[in-house]
Amino acid sequence: FCVWGIGREATLAIIKPDGLLGNYTETIKATIAHSGFKISREKVVQLDEEGAASFYAEHSTKKFFHGLIKYMTSGPVLVMVLEKENAISHWRSLIGPTDGRKAKITHPDSIRAICGTDVEKNCVHGSDSPQSSEREISFFFDIPSGSQRGGDDEHDEL
Ligand code: RTP
Ligand code: MG
């Protein structure tokens, strides 16, 4: 699946407010570059509560939801579309486990080990499946015309 129709997989990466304000962008982008990803789209966004709640709607019933929305709206984020073969799983493996504190012990080379603080403030996001990736990329970016995705978008096989 590739929303841009050029045969590579795409994933949505976000440098969260703590990553952006903590000046980790260059380090993270260096990892992105030497891991073989192409950044095909990027922009800085200030999410409002409604936007953050919509983006993380799958977690709306969790006890950490309110904290998550506060965190994700606490400052600007950098959203990027990363493309390569197996982009989704490769980016998830590079960012490491959700809990940045545990990541420092179990996955010391992961991005969250480097810039994450705890289970909430973990500095980066990555789509967790092709379905999530498509939803999350369209949440932030228009799909360019000329993409080979055709027909009824809601029911395309990925
Ligand atoms: P993400 O979606 O941001 O890439 O992170 P993830 O898949 O590793 O973790 P997920 O379970 O989807 O949780 C989404 C984000 O919610 C915050 N969180 N807080 N306080 C808590 O227990 C807790 N658990 C999760 C984190 O910011 C997590 O990335
Ligand atoms: Mg997730």
Question: What average pLDDT values come out for the chain (158 residues) when binned by 10 residues?
Answer: 66 98 96 97 98 98 98 98 97 98 98 98 98 97 62 39
Single-letter amino acid, residue 80? M
Q: Exposed/middle/buried for 143, CB within 10 Å: 0-12, 13-18, 19+? A: middle
60 lines ligand 1 (CB under 6 A): no
Helices (H), the chain: 17-21, 25-34, 49-55, 65-72, 87-95, 100-106, 111-115, 130-140
| Strands 124-126 and 9-15, sheet pairing | antiparallel
Instruction: Ligand 1 pocket test: pick from 98, 127, 132 the residue with the most ligand atoms within 8 Å of its Cβ.
Output: 98
Of the listed ligands, the closest to the CA of 62 is 1
Give the integer Cα–Cα distance in Å for 117 and 102: 9
pLDDT score, position 118: 98
Domain 9-45+76-141 belongs to what topology?
Alpha-Beta Plaits (3.30.70)
- The fraction of the chain above a pLDDT of 90, given in percent, is 85
Ligand 1 center to 148 CA (angstroms): 32
**Known catalytic membership, residue 125:** yes
Quote the DSSP letter at residue 37.
-
pLDDT score, position 143: 74
pLDDT score, position 145: 54
pLDDT score, position 147: 52
pLDDT score, position 4: 53
> How is residue 105 written in tokens?
């012990």
